A and B are shown apart, each in its own frame.
Chain A
Amino acid sequence: QVQLVQSGPEVKRPGASVRVSCKASGHTFTNYGFSWVRQAPGQGLEWMGWISVYNGITNVAQNFQGRVTMTTDTFTSTVYMELRRLKSDDTAVYYCARDRLPRKLDAFDLWGQGTMVTVSS
């Protein structure tokens, strides 16, 4: 079954870091690029960054440069997103999403179920 399964909810203090995982199955992991998208409560979708498993290139949205790191583990077919120096307005659902076509920047045809990250003192 082609799917992305994300790690569970997190509660963090302001200033801390969080790492969210996204495990892929049912397709050739190394052929694709993956993005991270977040959605604050009641708000729209915000693209955070993209990582290509096939050539290692990353592209981070300007709003997150210096705070986000994306990595992959080809042995476990897992993508990771670490967000540092958390603030209360980082409270959101974080999604991973896969490019529709292999080895090509594209729209997202496969999404994880979302991970709720709550930042609160």
Chain B
Amino acid sequence: DIQMTQSPSALSASVGDSVTITCRASESISTWLAWYQQKPGKAPKLLIYKASNLESGVPSRFSGSKSGTEFTLTISSLQADDVATYYCQLYDSYWTFGQGTKVEIK
């Protein structure tokens, strides 16, 4: 099975900073990658699908991109409301999540 390696495991940044989270696949997975945001005690929320498509209702400061087997989630201007854990997810004939990145405000 394809493995997803997500980094960093945690980060701390100031409000207004640009934040980047990376997910690397062990082999090519086309663009079947999604990003989720999960706040404590809540179900995950879909942010990005098919590597770079913004889910309806998600703020435009969130964006996704792909380069080779590396996928990136960028928060262009971090807000206090963005404090959460973020997960990447491969989806094809099966689904695999990355290990998660906890984002905090400095």
Contacts and interface: CB of A to CB of B under 8 A. Distances in A.
A16 interface: no
Contact of A35 (B92, B95, B100): B95
B34 A111 contact: no
Give the size category of A's interface with B.
Answer: 20 to 34
Nearest to A6: B43
Contacts, number: 57
Nearest to A4: B43
Interface string B75-106: 00000000000010101111111111000000
Interface string B42-86: 011110011000010000000000000000000000000000000
Given A45-B100, A95-B44, 10 more contacts: A59-B94, A61-B94, A97-B43, A100-B46, A100-B49, A107-B49, A108-B44, A108-B46, A109-B49, A111-B45
28 contacts: A35-B95, A37-B44, A44-B99, A45-B89, A45-B100, A46-B97, A47-B94, A47-B96, A47-B97, A50-B94, A59-B93, A61-B94, A95-B44, A97-B43, A97-B44, A100-B46, A105-B91, A105-B92, A105-B93, A106-B49, A107-B46, A107-B50, A107-B89, A108-B44, A108-B89, A109-B49, A109-B55, A111-B44
